[in-house]
Structure 1
Amino acid sequence: MQPRLNPLTACPDAYQAVRALNTYVQNCGLEHSLLELVKIRASQINGCAFCIDMHVKVARKAGESEQRLHLVAAWRESPLFSDRERAALAWTEALTLVAETRAPDEDFEALKAQFSEAEMTNLGVAIGLINVWNRLMVGFRVPHPAA
């Protein structure tokens, strides 16, 4: 894979704007472990090796188990995820694939049972943000670190 350009240096103002939103998401009050699972799942769907690599490393360093990390892609078939995590992962899939899913009522109802309105909003922002990062990294073919 040949990188097309480095969007982080090509337009520093855009990078800083996305970083500012990233800072907000990191401090929005949602569990760090939940946010990392969401970032990994969206990145898997979008085929973003850069973000999968980064967020698996971050989650592992924060104490996430190898077993759960390996099962994020098959979370529906695993009993290792809480109802709250399941609702967040379903919503992640629904919003990441919104052109196909149209954000189904069933997924929203599961979300509403586990999250407050502010948390749902923050989760939606977090999902949108990882999709922005995925589109930058995939679109410009930014490679993940080799080690």
Structure 2
Amino acid sequence: MTEQARVHLAKSARGAYDTLDAFAKTVGELSAEAGIDPRLKELVQIHASQLNGCAYCVRVHVDRAIAASLDADLIAQLPTWRESGVFTERERAALELTEAFVFIHEGGIPDDVYDRVGGVLSEQEYVALSWLLVSINAFNRVAIAGRYPVPPRRNAQA
């Protein structure tokens, strides 16, 4: 299948994109105030982007994760977080919440997930992560709808 260029939503409606970007900045500030560190913030954004199939956002947030001192092994473990021993209880709760938000159309946030996550995260952390997940899901949809390209890295080894 040949990829055809799509309307670039961010460029075609700059005001709407700028509003979404401002929302993301507000959510980032809320997350920081709630004690969500950059490591956790990037873990959930990468995982949501993976689950949504947004290669563009995965690239963006992997770069940010590396800047926040996450290593390749940790990032590679995200798809198998339930089987992996590299994540803290807090990170595991956030990753479970991430999956519930990505698949929210399948019945909302299940009570057992809400209770389990609420037993680990404070209400303030839950609220901040929830808004962070609303934000990344919105960005995923913009990038996926526009088929934003993810070219190979110039310095990538063959």
Q: Equivalent residue for 1:113?
A: 119
Q: Which moved more, 1:33-42 or 1:17-26?
A: 17-26
Alpha-carbon RMSD: 1.2
The CA deviation at 1:80 is 0.4
TM-score, scaled to structure 2: 0.88
Match of 1:71 among 63, 71, 77: 77
Among 19, 22, 29, the alignment partner of 1:20 is 22
Which runs of 4 or more aligned residues in structure 1 lie more than 3 Å from their structure 2 counterparts after TM superposition? none
TM-aligned CA deviation for residue 131 of structure 1: 0.4
**CA shift at 1:101, angstroms?**
4.6
Where is the helix percentage greater, Structure 1 or Structure 2?
1
Work out the number of aligned pairs and report it: 147
CA contact (8 A) 1:38 1:89 kept: yes
What does residue 58 of structure 1 align with?
Answer: 64
Letter in 1 for 2:46: I
Question: Deviations along 1:96-146, whole A, 9 cap, x unmatched?
Answer: 101125311121112112222222111111001100000000011111243
* Counterpart for residue 95 of structure 2: 89
With structure 1 as the length reference, what TM-score do the two structures score?
A: 0.94
In the alignment, the residues of structure 1 paired with residue 143 and residue 25 of structure 2 have an alpha-carbon distance, to the nearest angstrom, of 19
Identity percentage over the alignment? Answer: 35
C-alpha distance in 2, partners of 1:34/1:74? 16
- 3-state SS in 1 of match to 2:77: helix
Consecutive unaligned residues in structure 1, runs of 5 or more: none
Deviations 1:8-53 (A, max 9, x none): 1110111111111111122222211111011111101110000011
- The residue number in structure 2 matching 1:132 is 138
Larger Rg: 2
